[in-house]
Chain A
C-alpha cells in the first residue's frame, strides 16, 4: 500500500474535509464511469456515487491498507452497484418476465448485422438496456477491462458464469444494434434494465 493512501485515509477518518475532497477528486471519475454504466441513467448514477462515498466515509475505519485506496473504493462501488441492481431486478421481476433467464440468447443472424460504425450514443443506450445481470459482467469485462477471473471474483460467480454473461450481453447488444432494432435503441423507449425479449 502506498503511504500516501494510508495518510489520506487517516486524515479522512479524522474528519478532515480537505482530505475527503482530495479522495473524491482522485477517485470520483473512475467510480462514476462504473456506476453510470451499471445504473444506466444519470440520476441513478449520481445517487449511487453519493452512496458509495457515504459508505466510504462510514467504512474508512475498516480500511486496512491491504489494497490501494482506489481498489478498496472500487470494490465498494462494485458491491454497491450489485446491491442496487439486485434490488431493481427484484422490483422488476414482479412486473415483467425474468430479465436474465437462462437460454435467452439472441437468434443468430446469418450475415453481419451490426453496422461497422456504431455511434457511441447508440452503444451507450444499448448497454443501458441490457438486463441487469449480464450488464454487470459486460461492463466489468468489456468496458472496464477486467479479465474473466477478476470479474468472477468481483461478482462472486464462477469464471464460466462470467463468460456466459458477457457472451449473453454481447449477443443482446448485437441484436439491439442490428438494423432491425437500431431505431428503437436510438429512440431509447424503454427504461434501463427493462429490456425483455
Chain B
C-alpha cells in the first residue's frame, strides 16, 4: 500500500465520510507514514479554516446596476420583437402601420385617460428602475427627471436628425409619426399637470411619454447602426449602453 493508493481516501478520511474498513486501512498506513500524517494534519487545518470563511456580501451599488440592466434588457427584447419581421427595406405597409399602433398605443391610453379625467390606471408595466426611483421624493424626482429627459431627448434628436438619411423612407415616416404621437402625448400630459399639479396619473403619463420618446430615439439610432452594419446584436448593445 503506497501513499498514492490512499490519496483520495485521505480526503474522505478527513471529511469523515469513509467507511469503517477503509478508515482502518488509512489509519494503519498513516500511523507509519510521516508524509501522510502531515497531509492529514494540514487538510484538517484547511478544512477548519474553509468552514470559518465569512460570507461575501454583494456591494450596495450592484442592485441599481442590475435593475438598470434588466430594464434595458426588457426594452431590447421588445425592440427585437418589434423589428423581427424581416429586412426593413422590404417592410410592407401593413407592418409599418402595425409599428405605429404598437409604439403609440400604450402612451395614447395614458394621455387620453389624463386628458379626459378617467380613473383608468396606466397600463404600461413598471420596470425595475422604478423601484430605485421610488426612493426619491416625488417632487424632486419630477423636476430632476423631467430635466434629465429633456436634455437626453435634445441630444438624441440631434443625432437622429443628422443620421436619418440612412433610414429608408417608410421607416423614417414611421419614426416621424411616432414622434408626433409622443409629442402630442407629452403636450397633453403637461397641460393636464398644469391644471392639476398633484395628479399622480398625469405625472405618470408625462413620464411614460418622455420615456417612450427617449426609447424611440434610442431605437432609431440603434436601428440606423443596425442597418449600416447588418448587426442586430451590436445595435442592441448600443441601446443598452445609451440607456445606462
> Which residues of B in the span 114-137 have a Cβ within 8 Å of any Cβ on A?
125-131
Please give, as numbers and ranges, the residues of chain A lying within 8 Å of B125 by CB-CB distance. 14-16
Verify if A129 is at the interface (C-beta below 8 Å from B): no
With A and B bound together, what is the CA distance between A108 and B34 in angstroms?
Answer: 10
Verify if B140 is at the interface (C-beta below 8 Å from A): no
Verify if A2 is at the interface (C-beta below 8 Å from B): no
Nearest-CB residue, chain B, relative to A37: B56
Q: Is the interface of A mostly helix, strand, loop or mixed?
A: helix
- Cβ–Cβ contact B62 & A28, under 8 A: yes
Verify if B65 is at the interface (C-beta below 8 Å from A): yes
> Which residues of A in the span 28-61 have a Cβ within 8 Å of any Cβ on B?
28-29, 32-33, 36-37, 42, 45-46, 49-50, 53-54, 57-58
Verify if B84 is at the interface (C-beta below 8 Å from A): no
Of the candidate stretches B6-14, B86-94, B182-190, the one touching chain A is B6-14
- Cβ–Cβ contact A33 & B66, under 8 A: no
Q: For B128, give its contact among A20, A42, A166 (CB under 8 Å).
A: A20
- Cβ–Cβ contact A29 & B57, under 8 A: yes
If the complex has contacts A111-B34, A174-B42, are A123 and B53 also in contact, measured as CB distance less than 8 A?
yes
Verify if A116 is at the interface (C-beta below 8 Å from B): yes
Q: For A28, give its contact among B39, B63, B126 (CB under 8 Å).
A: B63
Verify if A18 is at the interface (C-beta below 8 Å from B): yes
- Cβ–Cβ contact A123 & B49, under 8 A: yes
Verify if B59 is at the interface (C-beta below 8 Å from A): yes
- Cβ–Cβ contact A163 & B73, under 8 A: no
Please give, as numbers and ranges, the residues of chain B lying within 8 Å of A113 by CB-CB distance. 38, 42
Q: For A108, give its contact among B39, B66, B67, B128 (CB under 8 Å).
A: B39
Verify if B171 is at the interface (C-beta below 8 Å from A): no
Rounded to whole Å, the gap between the CB of B240 and the closest CB of chain A is 10
- Cβ–Cβ contact A163 & B12, under 8 A: yes
Verify if B145 is at the interface (C-beta below 8 Å from A): no
Please give, as numbers and ranges, the residues of chain A lying within 8 Å of B130 by CB-CB distance. 17
- Cβ–Cβ contact A167 & B11, under 8 A: yes
Verify if A173 is at the interface (C-beta below 8 Å from B): yes
> Which residues of A in the span 71-116 have a Cβ within 8 Å of any Cβ on B?
105, 108-116
Residues of A near any B CB (own CB < 8 A): 14-18, 20-21, 24, 28-29, 32-33, 36-37, 42, 45-46, 49-50, 53-54, 57-58, 105, 108-116, 118, 120, 123-124, 142-143, 160, 163-164, 166-167, 170-171, 173-174, 177-178
Interface CB pairs A-B, < 8 A, 16: A17-B67, A20-B70, A24-B66, A28-B58, A29-B55, A32-B62, A50-B66, A50-B69, A57-B74, A108-B38, A113-B38, A116-B45, A123-B50, A142-B50, A167-B8, A167-B11
Residues of B near any A CB (own CB < 8 A): 3, 7-8, 10-12, 34-36, 38-39, 41-43, 45-47, 49-59, 62-63, 65-67, 69-70, 73-74, 77, 125-131
